[in-house]
Structure 1
Amino acid sequence: MQAVRAEAIAAGTPPLTSVEVVNKVLSQDSSNDTFLKNADIAECSTRSRSSGEDVLRSQLAAEKECSVALQAQMDVVNKDNERTKSDFLMLKSQ
């Protein structure tokens, strides 16, 4: 990390904060998660979900189901509308 700070100072930019240095170092080699393991920080994919996250996921699933049902209803209404238009045009032409 000292090398990253030295690079910033040599480039004439203000010194980086410790958080910025750690972020830069981790972003340089994200495939190596040894630091995260050593710091006892779980990976995002393996962390346990909070109850709030579970509630949000269930709400999202319910909204998706409602969206699918509404889309199906809209399809039926659109088909009925097209049929009504075609019947009207046919009656009008007679």
Structure 2
Amino acid sequence: MAESRATLFDVPGYCVALLEPEDTPALQRLLERCSDFSELVSGAPPSPSAAYALMTSGPEGKSLDDKFAWGIYTEVGELTGVLDAI
């Protein structure tokens, strides 16, 4: 959860913190809860490995050092959004 790590920034009611490998199950649950986004973007619901793929892949020519995935957490520590930037 975000409370135990440094946050990138806070907004009222939320904090944003870098996602770690141990956040993959929570990220998968989020992607499945918000499957309409995946269907809109890719035409299909998220795969069972969508969170792992989000955390470990990027465009050709870029390394994981170029990739950042931040979780948006509620005040109670629930992952409610994700920012994926390369």
Structure with the larger strand share? 2
Higher relative contact order (CA 8 A, sep 6+): 2
Q: TM-score, normalised by structure 2?
A: 0.23
Q: Larger helix proportion, structure 1 or 2?
A: 1
Determine which structure has more spread, i.e. the larger CA radius of gyration. Answer: 1
TM-score, scaled relative to structure 1: 0.22
